[in-house]
A and B are shown apart, each in its own frame.
Chain A
Amino acid sequence: MTAEFALHEVCIVACAEAWRGDGEILASPIGTLPSVAARLAKATFAPDLLMTDGVASLVSDGVVEGWMPYRAVFDTVWSGRRHVMMGASQIDRFGNQNISCIGDHVRPRAQLVGMRGAPGNTINHATSYWIPAHSPRVFVPRVDVVCGVGYDRAAALGRSARFHGLRRVVTNLAVLDFETPDHAMRLVSCHPGVSVEDVVRATGFPLVLPAHVETTRVPTASELHLLRETLDPKGAAAQELAR
């Protein structure tokens, strides 16, 4: 029997799956829905993950277990023992990501937050992306500023990019990855009720389409219980999706 679930809960599970098998590393979700997702992963199939409270404490099961000020975060980034899930205002076919600005960098049409740690994150450790509004405005042929490094740029670097790795891109429509010969973005699964055609139309570059596209795993009854009773009782993650 299938439990009733909502789209944001499918997205949370799909994001949580990014950290499966990561072991005892720092999980750094940026944004509300990825944060709920990382806590779901930790509460279920990835119990060894390290997570901060968003300030400077490492917290496990509601108990402070360590200190992680920004300087230690940077050290952890460069040590490679981290998997970040960032957002993207633009992302291209090879996973180059932009959070800096839209337009010419000298005088942008829209200044965004800035490249933050995206260059260092992507060149040093595992990176995934969460994109709540899958559209051709975000999935573009070419990003205006390369902040997070994509596979084509990494390939050009050779050995210096040996710690680079983009794991998955989760959107409101689908799950995508880069498991193709040239690491071009591939459609892995569509969320329930979403067609391959929907995803292709919302993507501004040609996606690699496998012969068989799965349906994204839906939440189990126990995952739904955890999400609704413990991890996100106020439904904050759903609001991020609605925006």
Chain B
Amino acid sequence: MADKRTTAERVVAQLSDGMTIGIGGWGSRRKPMTLVRALLRSPLKDLTVVSFAGPDLGMLCAAGKVKRAIYGFASLDSIPLEPYFRAARQAGALEASEIDEGMLQWGLYAAALRLPFLPTRAGLGSDALALNPWLRTVRSPYDDGEELVAMAALELDAAMVHVHRADAAGNAQILGPDPYFDDLFCMAAKRRFVSCERVVRTEELLNEGSLPTLRIHRGMVDAVVEAPRGAGFTSCEPDYPRDEGAQRAYVASAQEPGGWDAYQAKLVAGGT
């Protein structure tokens, strides 16, 4: 099996301006923050970010990396609103493709299955359609003739997810209570990047969790980055909870003039 271990810097070096990047996790939970920090340090720009969003989207907005976001929400969970995303929106700084969170899942699944769309009722009657004229409806070809949202495939140039364990070949293990949609992000993407708390030998993978924890296999992964505390400050249960103090400091920085520059300087220096 190929050894896919690499560094966050080498991962980001494979990306280019204008790409569509899917980021795994949920809100302020198990976000691939080591990889996001590498994005922040890079010269990349004009990105489209697809995310069940938290500080990943907030930081990328603060750093001026985001041209468009495709999202259902942006939240820090214990703190409901994402301050830097909020500021960027209120400055009109990005194109906001806001859709129902189930539509987001469906778009990733459609891309994963190489379908142009998947039908759903989610979005019908709401402004999810009016605000996103790129989305269309479809009529059932069966006798019911029902009109449904044809959720367009969200094809990703790259996916970034953070998991608990992985082997060097990219077999990845999620030990937490919720896999979120990380496997779909990988399946929807051309380039699949997984960071993990710890790289283990393949035969060690089942020491800590049962078979269903091996949600992502090596056929879904192009590169593995060992990144202890790689979700910090977001939660990575059961390895560690959210660092609420660090999250509060992040939010507080958004209230200061020049707060992001100071925060980013610390971040680049390697803190969380």
Contact = CB atoms under 8 A, between A and B. Distances in A.
A3 interface: no
A113 B81 contact: yes
A109 B87 CA distance: 10
Contacts of B193: none
Contact of A114 (B71, B90, B123, B144): B71
Interface stretch (A9-17, A156-164, A165-173, A202-210): A156-164
A217 interface: no
A171 B65 CA distance: 41
Contacts of A159: 144, 146
B271 interface: no
Contacts of A118: 100, 126
B178 A55 contact: yes
Interface residues of B, number: 44
B89 A123 contact: no
A99 to B, nearest CB: 9
A111 B75 CA distance: 11
* Residue of A100, A105, A109, A111 ringed by the most chain B CB atoms within 10 A: A111
B236 to A, nearest CB: 13
A25 interface: no
Contacts, number: 140
A118 B73 CA distance: 11
Contact of B101 (A100, A105, A120, A123): A120
Interface string A55-70: 1110000000001011
Contacts of A85: none
Contacts of A57: 177
A147 B121 contact: no
A119 B123 contact: yes
B74 interface: yes
Given A107-B91, A124-B121, A160-B146, A117 B180 contact: no
A114 B122 contact: no
Contacts of A110: 86, 90
A112 interface: yes
A120 B100 contact: yes
25 contacts: A71-B105, A74-B101, A113-B73, A114-B53, A114-B73, A114-B75, A115-B99, A115-B126, A115-B127, A116-B72, A117-B72, A117-B102, A118-B126, A119-B124, A122-B125, A123-B121, A123-B124, A146-B126, A149-B126, A156-B125, A157-B125, A159-B146, A160-B121, A160-B147, A163-B121
Given A55-B177, A118-B100, 18 more contacts: A69-B178, A70-B178, A78-B120, A105-B98, A109-B90, A111-B85, A111-B90, A115-B72, A115-B128, A119-B100, A120-B101, A120-B102, A122-B125, A123-B125, A123-B126, A145-B127, A147-B128, A159-B144
Interface of B: 26, 52-53, 71-75, 80-81, 85-86, 89-92, 96, 98-103, 105, 120-128, 130-131, 144, 146-148, 177-181
Interface of A: 55-57, 67, 69-71, 74, 77-78, 100-101, 105-120, 122-124, 145-149, 153-154, 156-157, 159-161, 163-164
